[in-house]
Structures are given as C-alpha cells and as structure tokens.
Structure 1
Amino acid sequence: MLIHNRRHADLWTLLAPPAIWALHFLLCYVLGSVACAKAGDPFAAIPLPRLGVGLATLLALALILVAGRQARRHWGFGTADPPHDDPTDDDRQRFLGFATLLLCALSFVAVLFVALPALTIADCR
C-alpha cells in the first residue's frame, strides 16, 4: 500500500486513504487493549501505548496528506468543474482524483477522531 508518484489515478489510489485509516484504527485499538489487558488494573497509566498511538497518528496523517496531494494533482484543481461524468479518460482521471481527495479529507478527520481518546484518557477506564 505504498503511495508513490503515479501518472494516472486508479482503484488503488482511491482505496489508499480509507485503508490507512482502517490500519490506524486497528493499530490504535490493539495497542490500547493489549496494554490494558496486561496491566490488569483499570486505573493503570498507559504512557507507552499513548505514545505509540501518537506516532501512528502522525504517520497516518502524513500518508493521507501525501495521498491528498497526489489526488489533487489527478483532479487537476481548477481545470474543470465537477461533475466529471463524460466517458473520456480525462474525466475519469478527474473523477477519481476528486473522489480520492474527498476520501482523504474524510480519512484525515477520522484518524484524528480515532486518536482523540489516547489524547484525553490516561488510564484504562
């Protein structure tokens, strides 16, 4: 799921941001649940998993921003207005770029919301 400089948008480009969000979600909740299960005490502080969630969040946000930058380029910001529904290769690229850009925005906000409990909750309660 590496994001690299693609000339043309495709299905992998479209799926990258939600996949990053899903992996981030899984990692955050696995880190938290394993740490709390090992601690055994609901009032135990969990600083290392919180740090792990913070680092995973920064990485996920950076990857989503890279995908968003690429999607913006595929969309051709300012060259044509939506809807991109003509049966041409250019419109297909613009549609995929625009849809990917919207998914990047959604995924960015979702990653922030997934990381929010690690920021506000310091123990296993």
Structure 2
Amino acid sequence: MTDERRKWHERLRVTLWTLIVPPSVWAAHFLFAYLWAAISCAKAGAFARFPLLFVAGTVLALLVIALSGWIAWKQQRTTGDPPPHEQGTEADRLRFLAMSTLLLAGLSFVGVLFTALPVAFIGDCR
C-alpha cells in the first residue's frame, strides 16, 4: 500500500521523541495543577466552586496522553515476531519503542488522574 493510502496513524513513527510525550504532558499538567491551586488560593482564598479551566486542562492532558497511547498501541501490533523485541531490526525497534510509549502513556494517564484528585476532594486552601 502506498504512503498516500495509509491511515494517518500508520504514517506516524514512534521515536524517542514520541516516547517522552506522555510523561511531558503529565509534568506540564502537574505544574499547571499546582500553579492553578496557588493562584486560586491567593486570589480567592479558596478553590473555585467549578474550576472550569482546571477541568479543561485535565481533559486536554488526558486526551493527548490517550492519543499517544493509542498510536503506540496501533504500532506495537505490527506483524512480526512475538515479544521480546530484542533484535536489532527496524521492526523490533519500532515495536519496542511503541510498547515503551504505551506503558508510559498508561502510567502518565494514572498520574494525571491522581494529580487532579485533590481538586475533587479538597475544597479549601488550608
């Protein structure tokens, strides 16, 4: 099948750069959460009743991580030998990086959820 006819996620290649996307989004969300809490407590003295900006930032972070994980999941399912992908071939390298990205995406997804939990359960700035 030619490159033009392949789906967009099949044209993407998992690399070391795509490997760092999920933990980077998690770190950015972590920073965003703490800045939001600090500014919210400093300005209003309490968390906002319905923190729309925080919810939107959390949903955006979860969507980016889920998209990264989905692309990695699609690419790690390429045909070839079963795991472990320890040979030096291009396909094994792709599958290894894709599996690593998938695992990091899962960890980062849970990390973002746990970073957002205090907003749901803590209502004041003590």
Identity of aligned residues (%): 45
Asked if the contact 2:40–2:47 (Cα under 8 Å) also holds between the matched residues in 1, the reply is: no
Secondary structure class of the residue paired with 1:81? coil
Residue in structure 2 matching 1:47, options 49, 74, 87: 49
Q: How many residues align?
A: 118
Instruction: Give structure 1 stretches of 5+ with no counterpart.
Output: none
Aligned to 1:21: 26
The 1:32–1:95 alpha-carbon spacing in structure 2 relative to 1, beyond 3 Å, is same
Q: Deviations over 1:16-66 (max 9, x none)?
A: 000110111111110111111223x4xx34225x33221111111111111
Who is 2:12 aligned against?
7
Q: Please tell me the residue identity of whatever aligns with 1:122.
A: G
With structure 2 as the length reference, what TM-score do the two structures score?
A: 0.84
- Alignment equivalent of 2:38, drawn from 33, 36, 57: 33
> What does 1:1-125 align with in structure 2 at a 5 Å threshold?
5=9, 6-39=11-44, 41=45, 44-47=46-49, 50-76=51-77, 79-125=80-126
Farther off after superposition, 67-76 or 87-96: 67-76
TM-score under structure 1 length normalisation: 0.85
Matched AA of 1:99:
S
Once residues 14 and 96 of structure 1 are traced to their aligned partners in structure 2, the CA distance between those partners, rounded to angstroms, is 7
